Amino acid sequence: MKQILVVDDEGGIRELLSEILTDEGYQVLLANNAEDARKIRRETRPDLVLLDIWMPDTDGITLLKEWGARGQLSMPVIMMSGHGTIDTAVEATKIGAHTFLEKPFAVRKLLTVVSSALHKQTETKTKIRSMLSLVGGSKKVQRFRAQVEKLKSNRTSVLILAEPGLQANDIAKELHPTGEPWIELVNSDYPENWKVKSKRANTGGVIYFRDVHHFKPSNQKIVKHYLNDIQSSGLRVIGSSLDGISSLIAKGEFDTELYS
């Protein structure tokens, strides 16, 4: 079942969209402001987002930019507004939005745009997999794929070291079983909230520490203190980093216990 996140500060719009999309067989998540949307996006991976542009706390364009900068724009985003302009629509698509819908919109148009965005996303993923199959004839690539498949079948902790240009986030998501909770934690989050967020996942979920090479020493210590608690609860821990941890360790900038 495809999961759609609806972000709109108007309760009536949220409920209407929820009803329409639920009737079409989609699972719907609701956020009434940007802060709620940030929280949901950190903890889940929706297949599509319907995002209102004008909201009281943070506008949709700014939120779209944030997701793009944090590597969280992995899903198509459809921008919505009751008083949008051509300039706004153009700006949104340049940043990474799939398209722009002006309120009020007809139900048929809404469903057509949603279906088109989801179909395009599926096509893109299929093309990527096909490309990997084509270039995957070398023994090195075959060994890599075999290793990924092996890691999928167990729940050991994993630190993914990626060369520049390699999407470590995509590899991490390959290790994420469909339907299990996904909690994504980054250095810019408040460390005191990390443990609270991790507890929201049910047993069997994944805690993903993204770009651990950016973690300052104080945050590394906090991670180390409760990492065992996470693992003992049945959650899987995955981390990603640029392949340069060894040099950080040599400089005393990365905790060896998190790397071993």
| Per-residue pLDDT reduced to its tens digit, 128-177 | 454 455 455 567 667 777 777 777 766 677 888 776 555 677 778 777 76
Give the dihedral of Cα atoms 151, 155, 161, 165; nearest 10 deg: 60
Q: Does 78 have pLDDT greater than 90? A: yes
Going by pLDDT thresholds of 50, 70 and 90, the confidence category of residue 5 is very high
- Report the sign of the C-alpha dihedral through residues 148, 152, 156, 158, in that order: positive
pLDDT of residue 25: 94
pLDDT of residue 167: 67
> 137-259: which CATH topology?
Rossmann fold (3.40.50)
pLDDT of residue 127: 47
Q: Name the percent of the chain lying above pLDDT 90.
A: 22
Q: Where in the chain is the domain with CATH 3.40.50.300?
A: 137-259
Q: Is the pTM of this model over 0.85?
A: no
pLDDT of residue 109: 92
- Region 67-90 average pLDDT: 78
Please check whether residue 113 is in contact with residue 50, taking contact to mean a CB–CB distance below 8 angstroms. no
Compute CA distances 148 → 70, 137, 141, 161, 237, whole Å: 24, 16, 11, 13, 15
Please check whether residue 63 is in contact with residue 57, taking contact to mean a CB–CB distance below 8 angstroms. no
Separation of alpha carbons 18 and 82, rounded Å: 18
pLDDT tens digit sequence for 41-60: 888 888 899 999 989 889 99
pLDDT of residue 131: 45
pLDDT of residue 38: 92
Helix (H/G/I), strand (E/B), else coil: 155: coil
Exposure of 140 by Cβ count < 10 A (0-12 exposed, 13-18 middle, 19+ buried)? Answer: exposed
* Structure-block tokens of residue 63: 């939120």
pLDDT of residue 173: 78
> 3-124: which CATH topology?
Rossmann fold (3.40.50)
Tell me phi and psi for residue 13, to 5 degrees: -65, -45
pLDDT of residue 94: 79
Q: Where in the chain is the domain with CATH 3.40.50.2300?
A: 3-124
Report the range out of 4-13, 88-97, 116-125, 218-227 with the highest average pLDDT: 4-13
Amino acid (one-letter) located at 218: S
